[in-house]
Amino acid sequence: MRIGFFLREAVRATRRSSASSFAALATVLVTMLMLGVFIPIVQATNGAANTVRSRVEVDVYFKAGATTADEARVRRKISQIPHVKRIVFVSKLAALKQQEKTDPAAYKLLGTNPLPDTFQVVPTNPQYVLSIRDALTPTRADGKPGMIDPSVATVSDKKTDTKKILQVTKLVTITAAILTVLLVLASVLLIANTIRLSLYSRRREVEVMKLVGATDWFIRWPFVIEGVVVGAAGAALALVVLAVTKVFVLDPLASSWTLIATPKTISFVALVGVLMGAGVLVSAVGSGLSLRRFLRV
Amino acid sequence: MAISSRHKSRTRRRAVTAPVTPPRTGGAGGSKSAGRGTRSVIEFRDVSKLYAGDVGLERASFSIQRGEFVFLVGSTGSGKSTVMRLLIKELEPTDGRISVAGHDLGSIARKRVPYFRRNVGVVFQDFKLLPNRTVYDNVAYALKVTGGTRREIRAKVPDVLRLTGLSTKLHNLPTQLSGGEQQRVSIARAFVNHPPLLLADEPTGNLDPDTSIDIMRLLYRINRTGTTVLVATHDQQMVDKMRRRVLELSRGRIVRDEVAGRYTRDETTRDLAKRLRAPSKPPPGVE
């Protein structure tokens, strides 16, 4: 009976102040859309960065003309370096096969195999990556870093790759966070404004309620529910838009574009929960803001 | 410290809610528990109210007994509305003590004020009806917001509408009613909970003399059920004719407290109306 009363009052109010309710609803919709897009994107970029970071190893690339004897000599030299756990030999052919899996079309176009023979040197602990790399590139007489063996072309610890990916991830995360915070703020304020207008248009009712002895929370509930209804409606609409986009745009693309498909991202069910929760929370805060300031009962 | 204050608020709660229950369960009446020991429903003791330096009320002391019908008169700005607003704890007195229906207003916590207000029905000059609700809903609203059940509403609302003579207007909107009828609705709303005290602030201020008599008759009928009625007005003629106790305020001071003319307590509402409609100077001896 009571809950029914509150709900009826809230819906009545929403209908009466439809213009401001619509503005608040639209803002919540945009905010929730942004959240719904950003959460998977941030997760995907973070995931990519983490896989790179976990692959701590030093790669030793041979020159094109390196012989088996060269490679045996280099292997002996590497195994004398402290803290080396494992040395994995990846031949030109094996490397090509591995790369072809990720993008067969591109490597078929290439025709020849551009990849060199490689030793992947795995340290006993990630912290030794730098010392191993230094040992592989001893300083020459002229002060510049040289190579452990003339048959070695380059030595890479993937530091630069990791750095680049981490930078991109950071940028994406920060941009997403700033945009989300701004939009959440706008939503809160617009909902607060909607509730304030609703309070104003129903000040007579509030006055009567106070006179006949309605408790503070009895007066407040319809307004809180009004805000929450607007917020939940915005979130629900955003979810519909996201679902439609996923089914009709993302899923067809996923088969041809690996970045969308591969990283593990939030499941749609969890996303529904997060967005609905955020929508309701945002609107509750918004209406609470107005009620605290304008309904000193 | 925390424990003791919590304890205090619990006892206070009992004190405030207790008088509400009997009229609810008992239906009509409501006067039985109003006094709580003392017989006075309203007690002002040296009450002063200052508005930013201006005097609203100055050391006012009076008491009103259960079942009385009292007029509060005075020109605009004399403090009538201040008294009314103090009585429903919409304002806090600057100084002095007020008790209503046995509750010391100063000791009612802000949170408990709504429960206190259920003991006091209030009627205003501008009716304060909700324009988009029917007569029935306007009255039912008072029960709904104080947590009345559907059964209670179905039982009480037609009752009080019959008492106020609105049985045929249940489904009209306030805009479809005359001023007098609107004031009846507002009285019905104030009385539906059967409070021990009914306050009326200029209830006939917007009405013609004939309609005013009807409203006064209705207030008297409510008074006859045992409810204490306090009417603020500046309709001097009406006050003279009604011959009830009069409290006169002037610049925040009580300058008169007397029964205007003799009257019999058990006068019927019909007799009252007949007397009110009579020419303004009734021959002596006619009662």
For B193-202, the pLDDT digits (tens) are 899 999 999 9
DSSP codes joined into one string, A64-126: TT--HHHHHHHHHHHHTSTTEEEEEEE-HHHHHHHHHHH-HHHHHHH-S--PPPEEEEEESSG
Q: Do A213 and B117 touch (CB under 8 A)?
A: yes
Q: Please compute Rg for chain A using Cα positions.
A: 31
Residue-level pLDDT at B286 = 47
How buried is residue A249: exposed, middle or buried, by Cβ count under 10 Å (0-12/13-18/19+)? exposed
Report d(CA A81, CA A201) in Å as an integer.
80
**Apex CA B276: angle with CA B279 and CA B119, to 5°?**
160
Domain boundaries, chain B: 30-119+197-278, 126-194
Q: How far is B90 from chain A (nearest CA, A)?
A: 9
CB-based contact (8 Å) between A204 and chain B? yes
Q: Does residue B76 surpass a pLDDT of 90?
A: no
Whether the CB-CB separation of A178 and A50 falls below 8 Å is answered with: no
A52: tokens are 């790179």
Amino acid at B98: I
Taking an 8 Å cut-off on Cβ atoms, the answer to whether A205 and B149 are in contact is no
Q: For residue A160, what pLDDT is reported? A: 67
Proportion of chain A in helix, strand, coil states, percent, rounded to 5: 70, 10, 20
The interface predicted TM-score of the complex, written ipTM, equals 0.72
Query: Is B193 in contact with A208 (Cβ distance < 8 A)?
Result: no
Q: Strand, helix or coil at B2?
A: helix
pLDDT, tens digit (0-9, with 9 covering 90-100), for B135-171: 999 999 889 888 888 899 999 999 999 999 999 999 9
CB contact (8 A) between residue B115 and residue A5: no
Predicted pLDDT at B9:
42
Confidence at residue B139, expressed as pLDDT on a 0 to 100 scale: 94
Residue B179's Cβ-count burial label (10 Å; 0-12, 13-18, 19+) is: middle
Q: Give the chain B residue whose CA is nearest to the CA of A16.
A: B132
CB nearest B115 (choices: A208, A213, A219): A213
Partner residue facing B128 (CB), from A208, A214, A219: A208
**Quick check: B117 and A207 CB within 8 A?**
no
pLDDT of residue A297: 45
CB spacing of B111 vs A216 below 8 angstroms: yes
What mean pLDDT comes out for the span B23-29?
36
CB atoms within 10 A of CB A250: 14
Sign, Cα dihedral of B100, B104, B105, B108: negative
Whole-number Å distance between alpha carbons of A96 and A91: 9
pTM above 0.80, yes or no: no
Is the pLDDT reported for residue B4 higher than 70? no
In angstroms, the CA A79 to CA A93 distance is 24
Domains in chain A with CATH codes = 2-51+163-294 (no CATH), 56-157 (3.30.70.3040)
- Output the pLDDT for position B23: 37
Mean pLDDT for chain B? 81
Residues of chain A with confidence (pLDDT) below 70: 1, 51-55, 103, 126, 143, 158-162, 254-266, 294-297
Q: How far is B140 from chain A (nearest CA, A)?
A: 11
> What is the average pLDDT across B244-259?
87
Burial string for A271-293 (b: 16+ CB within 10 Å, else e) reads bbebbbebbbebbbbbbbbbbee
3-class DSSP assignment, residue B65: strand
Q: List the single residue in A1, A208, A214 with the smallest CB-CB distance to B114.
A: A214
- Chain B residue numbers touching A210 (CB-CB < 8 A): 114, 117
Per-residue pLDDT at B232: 94
Distance CA B215, CA B110 (A): 33
B264 — phi, psi (to 5°)? Answer: -95, 135
| Partner B, chain A 210-229, Cβ-Cβ below 8 Å | 210-216, 218-219
pLDDT over 90, % of chain B: 38
Q: Quick check: A209 contacting B, CB < 8 Å?
A: yes
Residue B129 host element (H or E): none
Comparing B3 with A170, which gets the higher pLDDT?
A170
Query: Which residues make Cβ contacts (< 8 Å) with residue A293, sequence separation at least 6?
Result: none
Chain-centroid distance of CA A53 in Å reads 17
Kindly determine whether residue A210 and residue B144, on different chains, have CB atoms separated by under 8 Å.
no
**Which CATH fold would you assign to the domain B30-119+197-278?**
Rossmann fold (3.40.50)
A269 touches chain B (CB under 8 A): no
Quick check: A205 contacting B, CB < 8 Å?
yes
CA distance B118 to chain A (A): 5
Q: Which of B111, B115, B128 sits opposite A207 (nearest CB)?
A: B128
B40-51/B197-201 β-pairing = unpaired
Which comes out higher in pLDDT, residue B82 or B24?
B82
CA-nearest residue to A220 within chain B is B145
